């Protein structure tokens, strides 16, 4: 493809992404892969260039742009070489005309930028939410150790106990160490939130919102595969991906429990007051993961955020019932919005007088309310809020 044809392709792909964002359709990544499936003439260089252009435009537009062309015109405003490719030649975009709509630059839709500002996330810290994420690994201590593991490429240690960092896009899934379960792909911030729980061998631990088990596997490694680890979630498809991963990682202490959304307590009733520790990695806006999924900010609405906030409070209350006297609860969201972080903890402590909060001792992060915030800007991790709550004896 010519450089101009790649620009036209990015415009077409973006039109699909925009349409999907408006109608809650497929994610951008899938749409881009599908687009190329029916265009076999495009080589790997074309695919990479179109994808990069499309994602650069998604990152640049704070809210859903009017069209793919308006989004690309925003990039072209500061890039004369890109603007010159709008020449109307075969497969190229039409020439730019005066007064054409150009997308608004920004971090997020106005209401969300306001919420971020109210949560102290402004300027470079806000911009860093849309930076490029590295590829982080966790060495699985059930099978290996960071000090001695052998990998095909040099890797940098991160602040997480078993964390390693590689350039984005490194094809680790093809590595033997990955296939043999000695390493897992996991953001450093995510690893640190698991460290905050300090799960011990022999304990009874519940990972209430386990999803496909990213954190469950880290907890199992911390427990040295001894004790009882319950992984529950309300999403059957996600939960069903956990067991094959556990098997590859050599984890045998996990029991999965599918929850009925709205009646989560029923399936977990047998553990009431029995858990030494519960992790609530709650469903949230995902503001802290925009580096990986920048179009998510086009999809989030104020009503959805309010639903997340209500669900988080409900799951916190449910988790509290599961913890034994003297036990602990770690609350995590991959969000930098206070309504999903510090204010949730304030609300919880007001509802549960026999609980207290203690600041997590982690090698990264900054205090935010009664918890800790990890951010791409300050910590080079995905954005997280994490708090440790303890039930009095
Ligand atoms: C942030 S994700 C969890 C990610 C996972 N812990 C990991 O590390 O990969 C939040 C999870 O909450 C789950 N969830 C949504 N509603 C729920 C509910 N009512 N009860 C339990 N889990 C729920 C979602 O299906 C999703 O998997």
pLDDT digits (tens, 9 = 90+) for 189-239: 999 999 999 999 999 999 999 999 999 999 999 999 999 999 999 999 999
Please answer whether residues 1 and 91 qualify as being in contact, where contact means their C-beta atoms are separated by less than 8 angstroms: yes
CA distance 272 to 318: 9
ipTM: 0.99
| Rounded average pLDDT over 173-188 | 97
Please answer whether residues 111 and 301 qualify as being in contact, where contact means their C-beta atoms are separated by less than 8 angstroms: no
- The answer to whether the annotation marks 207 as part of a ligand binding site is no
Q: Are strands 228-233 and 204-207 parallel, antiparallel or unpaired?
A: parallel
Integer-rounded Cα Rg, in Å, for the chain is 22
User: Does 297 score more than 90 pLDDT?
Assistant: yes
User: Does 64 score more than 90 pLDDT?
Assistant: yes
CA distance 222 to 229: 11
Angle between helices 242-249 and 214-222 (to 10 degrees): 30
For 331-387, what is each residue's pLDDT tens digit?
999 999 999 999 999 999 999 999 999 999 999 999 999 999 999 999 999 999 999
Confidence of residue 39 (pLDDT cuts 50, 70, 90): confident
CA dihedral sign, ordered 339, 343, 348, 351? negative
pTM: 0.96
Confidence of residue 38 (pLDDT cuts 50, 70, 90): confident
- The answer to whether the annotation marks 260 as part of a ligand binding site is yes
Angle between helices 28-37 and 44-60 (to 10 degrees): 150
* Structure tokens belonging to residue 103: 């997308």
For 76-105, what is each residue's pLDDT tens digit?
999 999 999 999 999 999 999 999 999 999
Please answer whether residues 221 and 139 qualify as being in contact, where contact means their C-beta atoms are separated by less than 8 angstroms: no
Q: Residue 40: its pLDDT value, please?
A: 83
Q: What is the CATH number of domain 135-185?
A: 3.30.70
| Rounded average pLDDT over 154-180 | 95
Residue 320 CA to ligand 1 center (angstroms) comes to 17
Q: How far is CA 157 from CA 164, 190, 264, in A?
A: 4, 15, 39
Q: What is the CATH number of domain 188-391?
A: 3.40.50.150
| Rounded average pLDDT over 305-324 | 98
What residue ranges do the domains of the chain occupy? Answer: 3-87, 135-185, 188-391
Please answer whether residues 80 and 304 qualify as being in contact, where contact means their C-beta atoms are separated by less than 8 angstroms: no
Catalytic residue among 61, 209, 284, 334: 334
User: Does 169 score more than 90 pLDDT?
Assistant: no
**Chain centre to alpha carbon of residue 21:** 18
Residue 217 CA to ligand 1 center (angstroms) comes to 15
Q: How far is CA 254 from CA 103, 206, 244, 300, 316, in A?
A: 48, 10, 11, 33, 22
| Rounded average pLDDT over 147-158 | 95
Please name the residues in contact with 251: beta carbons below 8 A apart, sequence gap of 6 or more: 142, 216, 217, 220, 221, 225, 229
* Whether residue 228 lies in the annotated active site: no
| Rounded average pLDDT over 304-331 | 98
Please name the residues in contact with 139: beta carbons below 8 A apart, sequence gap of 6 or more: 145, 146, 149, 162, 163, 164, 182, 183
CA distance 364 to 388: 15
Q: Supply the residue whose CA is at minimum distance from atom 25 of ligand 1.
A: 235
Please answer whether residues 32 and 11 qualify as being in contact, where contact means their C-beta atoms are separated by less than 8 angstroms: no
264 lines ligand 1 (CB under 6 A): yes
Percent of the chain residues past pLDDT 70, beyond the cut: 100
Beta bridge partners of 357: 389
Residue 219 CA to ligand 1 center (angstroms) comes to 16
Q: Residue 168: its pLDDT value, please?
A: 84
- Average pLDDT of the chain is 97
Task: Compare 54 and 37 and report the one with higher pLDDT.
Answer: 54
Residue with tokens 């699909």: 16
């Amino acid at each position: 493809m010519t450089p101009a044809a790649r620009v036209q392709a990015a415009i077409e792909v973006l039109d699909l992404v925009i349409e999907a964002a408006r109608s809650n359709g497929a994610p951008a990544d899938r749409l881009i892969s599908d687009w190329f499936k029916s265009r076999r003439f495009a080589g790997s260089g074309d695919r990479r260039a179109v994808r990069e252009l499309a994602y650069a435009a998604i990152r640049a537009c704070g809210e859903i742009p009017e069209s793919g062309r308006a989004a690309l015109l925003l990039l072209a405003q500061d890039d004369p070489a890109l603007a010159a490719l709008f020449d109307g030649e075969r497969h190229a975009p039409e020439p730019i005309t005066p007064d054409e709509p150009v997308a608004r630059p920004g971090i997020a839709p106005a209401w969300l930028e306001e919420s971020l500002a109210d949560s102290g996330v402004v300027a470079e810290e806000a911009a860093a939410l849309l930076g490029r994420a590295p590829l982080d690994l966790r060495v699985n201590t059930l099978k290996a150790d960071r000090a001695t593991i052998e990998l095909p490429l040099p890797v940098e240690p991160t602040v997480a106990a078993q964390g390693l960092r590689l350039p984005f896009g490194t094809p680790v899934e093809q590595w033997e160490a990955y296939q043999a379960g000695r390493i897992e792909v996991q953001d450093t911030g995510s690893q640190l939130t698991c460290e905050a729980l300090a799960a011990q061998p022999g304990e009874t631990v519940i990972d209430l919102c386990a999803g496909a088990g990213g954190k469950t596997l880290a907890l199992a490694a911390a427990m040295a595969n001894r004790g009882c680890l319950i992984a529950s979630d309300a999403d059957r498809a996600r939960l069903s991906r956990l067991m094959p991963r556990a098997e590859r990682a050599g984890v045998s202490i996990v029991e999965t429990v599918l929850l009925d959304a709205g009646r989560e307590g029923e399936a977990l009733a047998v553990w009431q007051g029995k858990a030494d520790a519960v992790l609530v990695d709650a469903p949230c806006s995902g503001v802290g993961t925009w580096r990986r999924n920048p179009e998510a900010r086009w999809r989030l609405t104020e009503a959805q955020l309010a639903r997340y906030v209500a669900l988080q409070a409900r799951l916190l209350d449910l988790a509290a019932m599961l913890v034994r006297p003297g036990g602990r609860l770690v609350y995590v969201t991959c969000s930098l919005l206070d309504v999903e972080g510090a204010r949730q903890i304030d609300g919880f402590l007001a509802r549960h007088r026999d609980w207290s909060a203690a600041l997590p001792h982690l090698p990264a992060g900054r205090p935010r309310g009664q918890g800790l915030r990890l951010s791409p800007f300050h910590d080079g991790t995905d954005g997280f809020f994490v708090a440790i709550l303890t039930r009095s004896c």
